Amino acid sequence: MANPISICKGTFVAQQDSVRCRQWHLEFRFWELTMDVNRLLKFDNAHPILTKVKSSLANLGYPQLNQIKCEQEGSTVVLKGELASFYMSQLAQTTVSKVPGVVRVENRVTVGPVV
């Protein structure tokens, strides 16, 4: 009696190989799920816009801008904090407005002496 034939990933394999194929498939699926979890831990997928906003501010090279708190409300980004100059406040607002996905920027940054 001939071995029954099953299909694994589009190729025909003998019955004894189908067990190995199922095992491989389960191991591969486990690996995929592990990679998905790792991506979630590494990147803030809940707020991808905020990640881009903070990165854009950091790339400007002004350490003061890293002190700004950013919050997301839908496609609106709210900037909060205190900066030493109006120029820095406007620079932050302009930079954030150019980030893809940001429709509106609320600049609640106060200008004054930073302690």
pLDDT at 91: 95
The yes-or-no verdict on residue 1 having pLDDT over 50 is: no
Of 13 and 75, which is predicted with more confidence? 75
- Tokens 């801008």 correspond to what residue? 65
Are 70 and 102 in contact by the 8 Å Cβ rule? The answer is no
Residue 103 CB neighbour total at 10 angstroms: 10
Q: Read off the pLDDT of each residue in 93-110 and give the average, rounded to a whole number.
A: 94
Which among 104, 64, 102 has a CA at the least distance from the CA of 86?
Answer: 64
The yes-or-no verdict on residue 66 having pLDDT over 70 is: yes
pLDDT at 31: 58
Of 87 and 45, which is predicted with more confidence? 87
The yes-or-no verdict on residue 87 having pLDDT over 90 is: yes
**Residue-averaged pLDDT of the chain:** 77
Query: Does the pTM exceed 0.75?
Result: no
